[in-house]
Chains A and B, each alone.
Chain A
Amino acid sequence: MTTQTTRKYLRERFMPHIWCAGCGHGTVLNALIRAFEALGMSRNEIVMVSGIGCSSRITGYVDVHTLHTLHGRALAFATGVKLSKPELNVIVPMGDGDALAIGGNHFIHAARRNIALTALVMNNRIYGMTGGQYSPLSGYGISATTAPYTSIDPDFDVVALSMAAGATFVARTTTYHVNEMFDFFQKAILHEGFAVVEVLTQCPTYFGRKNKMGNAADMLTYYKENTVALGARSEKEHPHMIKRGIFIQEEKPEYCSQYDKVMERAQKGRP
C-alpha cells in the first residue's frame, strides 16, 4: 500500500508549484486531491472555480475543468456553472480576503441560496500575493504592511457567518490536522447544499514573519496547541481555543433542485 498524494488529479507539468516553502495551501491541495480519489470522482465531472490571490492558484494544479476568475467573484461564476449544469461537482477554493472582503457579498448570497457548491476558505489571515496586507480575517492587533501599528479591525468568524447566512454544511480544520481536513473535504463534496470548509493555513512568509510566529512548523504547532475538536473533553477546559469540527450538517432544499420545481410549475401553465 502506498501513501502518496495521488498524481491522477495533478497537472504534474506545473510542479513544483508557485507557493512559498511551507505555505499551507500546498497541504490543502494535497488533501483535496486525495479526497477526490477517495470519492472515486471522475475528473470530467469536477469544475474548480477560484478567484485571485495565492489561494486561487490551486486550480491550475488540478487536472479537472478549471476556471480562474476575478478577485472575490469565484462563487458568482460558480453559481452560473452549477445552475446551468447541476450534474457537475463544483469546488470553489478561496482565500480569506477573496472570500470575505471583496467576495463577502457573493459568499453570503451563495450560502443563502444553499446552492450545492463546495466553498473552501483557505484562511491565512493575510493578503500574500500582494505582499502582506491585513485581511478581514486577520483580527485585532495583527501586524501587516497596511497595519504597521497593528490592526484595529475585528475579524469575521467564518463559521458563525456561514451558518447565519444559511450554509447547510460548515466545518473548520487546520493544515496540521490533515486527516480531519481530508475527511471534511469528502463530506463537504458529498453534501447536497452549500458547504463551507474553513482551513486555517499558514503563511510563514508574510503573516508568520510579520507577527513573529516562527517558521511553518512553528505555525502548525500553534494550530495544534491552540485549537480544540468539537466535543473533545478539553473543549470545556479551554473555552477560548479555536474550535475545529463540523458545526452544522443539515438537509435543506438545494437551489438547483428547487429550480427544477420552478421549471415543472412553469411548464404546467401560467404563473
Chain B
Amino acid sequence: MGSIELIGVTDGILSNDAGKAMIMPTNVRFIQGNEACVEGALYAGLKFFAGYPITPSTEIAEHLAVQLPRRGGKFIQMEDEIASMCAIIGASLTGRKVLTATSGPGFSLMQEALGYAVMAEIPCVIVNVQRGGPSTGLPTHISQGDVNQARWGTHGDHAIIALTASNHQDVFAMTVEAFNMAETYRTPVVLLFDEVVGHMRERLVLPEPGQHPLVERLKTSVREGVDYHPYLPREDGRLPMSDFGGVHRYNVTGLYHDMWGFPSDNPKVVHGLIRHLVDKIEDHVGSIARYKTYFLEDASTVLVSYGATARSALHVVESQRRKGQKFGLFELQTLWPFPYEIVGEACGHAKQVVVVEMNMGHVYREVQKALGYADHVFLANRIDGVFITPTDIRQTLRLITGKGV
C-alpha cells in the first residue's frame, strides 16, 4: 500500500535516481492507467466505490481505498463482484456518483446487476480492465475480448454505452465522460480498458477544476406532496431523480414497471419501456460517439483501432506516412453504441480498411456492417496475450496486399 503514495507528486518534488530533487509541476503525474482512471473518477465527483480485487484492475480499488475516505467518500470491498455491482446501485440511489472496477471473470459476475441498472435506469460506471479470457484466462496479459460482452453480456434487449481509451490523458477524459453520460442518460456506462493501458506508466497532466465540464445528477423539482413520477421521461427524454431518503417515496424494480416504478406486465407499458431504454441511447449515437482521427483526409488505407492497440496502429500509420504512403487511423473511443455512420463515412473512400484489435474480430464485424460487408475490410489481430506490435500489423498488411510474410 505504501508504494501507492510514492507516485503522487502532491508536494511538487520528486527525487531522481541520484537522489537529487527535481521540481515538477504539481499537476503532472507519471502513473499507471488505472490511476489515471481513479483521477478521472475523483475529478468527476465519485463518492462511492464497491469492488473486489482482480488483476489487472486492482490498483483502481487500492487507490480509491486511499483517496475516497480523504474526500468524504465511501469505499467498500465486497464479498464478490456480484455484491459490488449491487452495492453501487444501492449507493447511486442515495444520490452519489458510483463506480466499480473489475476484469473479465468479475465482469461476467456483474452482468445480472448490470442489467438491473439498465432496467431501473440507475447511473453508475463499471470499469473492466480487460485480460485474456474466457474463464480465468490470462490474468496478467492483455486482451480486448470483452467488447461484445459489454454490449450483450446481460440478458434481454437493451442498449449500453461503452467507452475506451488508448493513453492516460484519454483514460482520464473518458472516465469523466463515462460519469457524465451515466448521469445524462440515467444508465450504466462501461469503461473497457485493457491490461496494457491499465498497467503502463506514462504522463498525465491533471486538468484544472472546471476544465472538463461535469454533468451532475438531475434532481426533480417536484415539491413534497406533489406526485413525482420517477420513470416518466421529460420532453427531452431525461428523467429527473429523487434520492432515497428524500421527500418522494417510490419503487425501484428490475421488473417492467410503470411511471411510478411499480411492476406492470401491461403490453403497452412493456413496449413503451423497452423502446425507451433502447431509444434513449440509440437515438443519441452522434452525441455519445467519441473518436479520434489521424491523417484520414486522403488515406487510402485506414486502420481502425481502439484501446492500447491503437498505439501500435498509430505507430504504423505515422511510419507509413513518413514513407509517403497514404495511411490513416480511426481511433474509436465510444465502442457502444457503435457509430456505424461515422465509421462508414470515415472509411468510405479507403481502398482497404484494417481493423486492429486483440480479439477474434469484435469490432471488425461492426466495421464490416458499417461498410456494407465490403470485401476490403480486414482484421489484424493478436490473440495470444502478447501485445500487438507495429511489426505484427505490418505483417498482416503485407499479407492482404499480396506481398507475403
Contacts and interface: CB of A to CB of B under 8 A. Distances in A.
Interface of A: 14, 43-45, 47, 49, 59-60, 63-70, 73, 76-85, 87-88, 105-106, 109, 259, 262-263, 265-267, 270-271
B255 interface: yes
Interface residues of B, number: 47
A91 B102 CA distance: 29
A106 B79 contact: yes
12 contacts: A14-B262, A47-B245, A65-B244, A70-B113, A70-B116, A83-B74, A83-B87, A84-B94, A88-B245, A105-B80, A263-B72, A271-B2
Contact of B246 (A44, A49, A79): A44
Contacts of B113: 70, 73
B69 A263 contact: yes
A68 B252 contact: yes
A45 B249 contact: no
Given A60-B262, A80-B86, A263-B72, A67 B249 contact: no
B87 A80 contact: yes
Contact of A262 (B69, B80, B88, B116): B69
B295 interface: no
Contacts of A68: 251-255, 263
**Top 10 closest A-B pairs, CB basis?**
A80-B90, A80-B87, A76-B86, A266-B69, A84-B91, A76-B83, A68-B253, A81-B90, A80-B91, A109-B79
Contacts of A45: 245
Interface in B1-28: 1-2, 5
Contacts of A267: 69-70
A84 B79 CA distance: 17
Contacts of B84: 76
Contacts, number: 135
Nearest to A270: B5
Contacts of A77: 86-87, 89-90
Nearest to A259: B74
Given A60-B251, A76-B87, 16 more contacts: A44-B246, A45-B245, A64-B249, A68-B251, A68-B254, A68-B255, A69-B86, A73-B112, A76-B82, A76-B86, A77-B86, A79-B78, A79-B87, A80-B88, A83-B76, A265-B69
Contacts of A83: 48, 74, 76, 87, 91
B249 A80 contact: no
Interface in B213-249: 243-247, 249
A68 B254 CA distance: 7
B250 A84 contact: no
